[in-house]
Amino acid sequence: MIPARVRRLLRWLCLVGWMLRVASPSHAAEGALAGSRPNIVVIITDDQGWGELSCHGNPVLRTPNLDRLHAESLRLTRFHVSPTCAPTRAALMTGRHEFRSGVTHTVNERERLDPRATLLPELMRRAGYSTGIFGKWHLGDEDEYQPGRRGFEKTVIHGAGGIGQTFPGSCGDVPGNTYHDPWVRHDGRFERRKGYCTDVFVDAAWEWIEEASRRRRPFLAWIAPNAPHDPFVSPGDEWERPYRDRGLPPVAVPYYAMIAHLDAAVGRLMARLDAAGLGRDTLVVFMTDNGHSVPGIFNGGMRAMKGTVYEGGIRVPSFWRWPGRLPSGVDAPPWTAHVDVLPTFLGLAGARVPDGVEGRSLLPLLGNPAAPWPGRLLFSHLGRWKTGGAREAAHQQGAVSDGRFKLVNDSELYDVVADPGESTNRIQDLPAVTARLRAAYRGWWDGILRDAQLNEWTMGPLLNPYAAAFSDSLGVLPSTEEQLRMDPTRKFMVDRAW
């Protein structure tokens, strides 16, 4: 039996340990951020990878405004997303792996986010936030899937995954829409706006931010330009000129021009926030939705690109700027992901995180980049299997990582800390690590398959609903040619639509 005096000493030591833990800098910083209720501006660009920033070493591209944002931010340097765009956006909106919500593709009805899911903007509104989205939605173009019915109060968007895109079934934009002077859907009404698409969405966001800030309620502004997504429509000759005659692949010239123009738009937005006195009350998060989509350009030493589970496809920039509240110019290297954004924002809003959320709050790291960060496994999969082929697709661009080791396609093992370029396959050297990750991946795949097939056999409507709504707003019907183009019986022919 332990003497009473020893028991009292042990209890006292436990109490002191608990008090030291609570009073530690990381816990104190996390506590100061929880429920702080800042305005939140998210800027998420489309198909801009890790290497499309001069602050990340790009030898050709110049991004002075994003470089400044990088310098003023806490940077999550190992932040991971999904291999393509709609899946990343589904994970951001739910805090869960995208397959849990049936989003396994970017077209073929498999981009539609489960209507039973409760999304980030809905939860933020319940917490007293105003919410607005500007740009790309890409989680369902039918009316019941539109962002205005999923928690966003203000919507200024395009349809489908890109301006002017239309695919058989329900995924489509205004037919023939263009990057210059585009048609947008503003709170359900179609309007044509003057200017280049990036400016249209950023300027619409700023107009709403000004209005929202006068209401004395915190706001969430989700700014999602479609740039620099293909078809690489240049914002103008003056933006292309610095990138000509630089030995770039031809499509890289307008691609870099789009990013340089986007950089200027971000700079204009940041200047407006600061000039209006909102900068110190506003968390600005910059990130992208997947790796780049142009072969043969700078990629920061990483392997592959969009559409793969290698680092070049899923590791992206993640800058978090809140002057006076977050550390600036500091890197936070722990293993983080898109699923962490929802619980982090809810923590800042002082709201409860719903059951079933798979991500974890980033507040400890935002308060102290050196805070303890327990180990975890992150799973990635391209999806995009042929209809009915889900069960056999486990190792068709699928990966699991514990933050150091990464198993790819059940046949490649990389130490992504020592070898971020994933150049040396260690699968023969480390059988125990391989077995552990294989077992984890197998369990995850078996557990997620049913949810992943939610939209598997769904047939889209005869007429694309977004295009039909646009035609109806003009009082005209789509042409016979347009109707044929939207015939869902052709949907299975679409097997590679980024």
Counting the structural domains of the chain, the total is: 2
pLDDT for 161: 97
CATH number at residue 110: 3.40.720.10
Q: Yes or no: say if 189 and 7 are a contact pair by the CB < 8 Å rule.
A: no
Residue 467 falls within a domain, yes or no?
no
Tell me: do 319 and 393 sit in the same domain. no
Contacts of 477 (CB under 8 A, 6+ apart): 471
Boundary residue ending a domain (367, 388, 407): 367
Q: Which domain holds residue 414?
A: 378-452
Residue 157 falls within a domain, yes or no?
yes
Closest residue by Cα to residue 267 from 59, 74, 68: 68
Paired residues of 408 in beta bridges = 399, 412
Tell me: do 87 and 140 sit in the same domain. yes
481 burial type by CB count under 10 A (0-12 exposed, 13-18 middle, 19+ buried): exposed
Residue 481 falls within a domain, yes or no?
no
CATH number at residue 412: 3.30.1120.10
Q: Yes or no: say if 160 and 171 are a contact pair by the CB < 8 Å rule.
A: yes
pLDDT for 463: 84
Q: Yes or no: say if 142 and 461 are a contact pair by the CB < 8 Å rule.
A: yes
Closest residue by Cα to residue 378 from 405, 410, 355: 405
pLDDT for 477: 57
What is the rounded CA–CA span in Å between residue 233 and residue 436? 46
What is the rounded CA–CA span in Å between residue 140 and residue 106? 10
Handedness of CA 326, 329, 335, 338 (dihedral sign): positive
What b/e string do you get for 220-256 counting C-beta neighbours within 10 Å, with b at 16 or more? bbbbbbbbbbbebbbbeeebbeebeeeebeebbbbbb
Closest residue by Cα to residue 101 from 92, 109, 91: 91
- Render pLDDT for 374-385 as a digit per residue (tens, 0 to 9): 999 999 999 999
Q: Yes or no: say if 467 and 483 are a contact pair by the CB < 8 Å rule.
A: no
Tokens of residue 187, six digits: 């709170």
Contacts of 142 (CB under 8 A, 6+ apart): 112, 170, 461, 465
Residue 460's alpha-carbon distances to 146, 173, 262, 456, 491, in angstroms, are 15, 15, 34, 11, 8
Residue 30 falls within a domain, yes or no?
no
497 — phi, psi (to 5°)? -120, 110
Tokens of residue 445, six digits: 């795949």
Tell me: do 196 and 223 sit in the same domain. yes
Tell me: do 255 and 351 sit in the same domain. yes
Tell me: do 421 and 293 sit in the same domain. no
Q: List the chain residues with pLDDT less than 70.
A: 1-29, 476-498
3 state DSSP class of 241: helix
Which regions of 424-498 does DSSP assign to beta strands (E)?
Answer: none
What is the rounded CA–CA span in Å between residue 431 and residue 438? 10
